[in-house]
Structure 1
């Protein structure tokens, strides 16, 4: 004898998926906000030419520390703005969130020798953002992702 699911089983499953997707979007928004603020601080340290950065004379991607500072400051500011859009479940913010997190990963990979520990932390944060935004599908948000 087979038991047929009740009409509420599908509704409960859909609601659970929607809550899961909303939770991942909030996770991505908070994580991107943290990564953005940390990148802003890193940018300020680079612009001020703080002594916390290591200088590596034979690094392939050697750039001016002030230039790196401005790059990280700009990426951090955009990341904070995009994270605010993620709190509103905006579709543009989901797409931009993946793009800005990827750019943060690339920038931190290229600046690994200057501040290795912080770069690894930022790469991990940004990887979690990309994962969270790609796992939660916009159609599982019940139409809210199209705002």
Structure 2
């Protein structure tokens, strides 16, 4: 049976057990974005560790950390995100669930980090939100 659907729809295809190409493309894109977000995290981390003068100093902030501490947080999280993004691209079963959890953690970390570097933080939050959505919407198993 030929599959000719060219519009996005439910994550399932008309064929039993098939995955809609839109869902598969979203998962691949999520893997690439997780890789990119991880690389950005590594860059943010190295920058914060190397120089305390790059990021804005924040006063009277509940989540105030030393810039070096933020650097290490972003570096470690970035390395892990790169590994999970690679796992998603390779089709590893563990990588999708791990990707959702780590993207959520990274989203929270970047939200807390927002006063230090607003533009980078907002970009990372947007990437993480899309990654979570893409990895959660592939419908290989029906929810209802």
* TM-score of the pair, normalised by structure 2: 0.84
Equivalent residue for 1:91, pick from 90, 93, 100: 93
Structure 1 counterpart of 2:8: none
The total of aligned residue pairs comes to 133
Q: Within 1, Cα distance between the matches of 2:19 and 2:95? A: 20
SS of 1:57 mapped into structure 2: coil
5+ residue gaps, structure 1:
1-7, 141-147
Equivalent residue for 2:139, pick from 137, 140, 147: 137
Report Cα offsets for 1:4-59 as digits up to 9, x if no partner. Answer: xxxx3789743684322211110100110110000100000110124221111111
Contact conserved, 1:30 with 1:83, CA < 8 A, in 2? yes
Per the TM alignment, residue 89 of structure 1 is displaced from its structure 2 partner at its CA by 1.8
Contact conserved, 1:105 with 1:123, CA < 8 A, in 2? yes
* TM-score of the pair, normalised by structure 1: 0.82
Q: Within 1, Cα distance between the matches of 2:107 and 2:67? A: 18
Structure 2 counterpart of 1:14: 14
Contact conserved, 1:91 with 1:138, CA < 8 A, in 2? no
The CA RMSD measured in Å over matched residues stands at 2.1
Task: Please tell me whether Structure 1 or Structure 2 has the larger radius of gyration of its CA atoms.
Answer: 1
5+ residue gaps, structure 2:
6-12
Report Cα offsets for 1:97-147 as digits up to 9, x if no partner. Answer: 00110111111111111111100000001111001000113449xxxxxxx
